[in-house]
Amino acid sequence: MSIRTTYLATCDEMSLTEVCWNISSVFIVIVLVVMAVLAMLTLFAIVAAISTSNPQDKEEHHGNERE
């Protein structure tokens, strides 16, 4: 019985604004983590696109067409 009353007392100590602030801070952290992951994936995609493209091959093809 004493455990239940202390549990209710701790729940009553948190106001509605504190609960909303905790939820919003968790949501903000999740959004920032998702944005960071998407930014890293975009960076990796750009690096992969640059490293796989070979501009010398494109210049050689254009050079052969001109001759």
pLDDT of residue 58: 60
The structural domain count of the chain equals 1
Beta strands in 1-67 (DSSP E): none
How far lies 39's CA from each of 4, 31, 43, 46, 49, in Å? 47, 12, 6, 11, 15
Domain holding 26, by residue range, is 2-66
Helices (H) and strands (E) in the chain, counts: 3, 0
Task: Kindly indicate the confidence band of residue 15, based on its pLDDT and cuts at 50, 70 and 90.
Answer: confident
Closest-CA residue to 19 (of 66, 42, 27) = 27
How far lies 40's CA from each of 3, 45, 48, 53, in Å? 47, 9, 12, 20
pLDDT one-digit tens code per residue, 25-49: 999 999 999 999 999 999 999 999 9
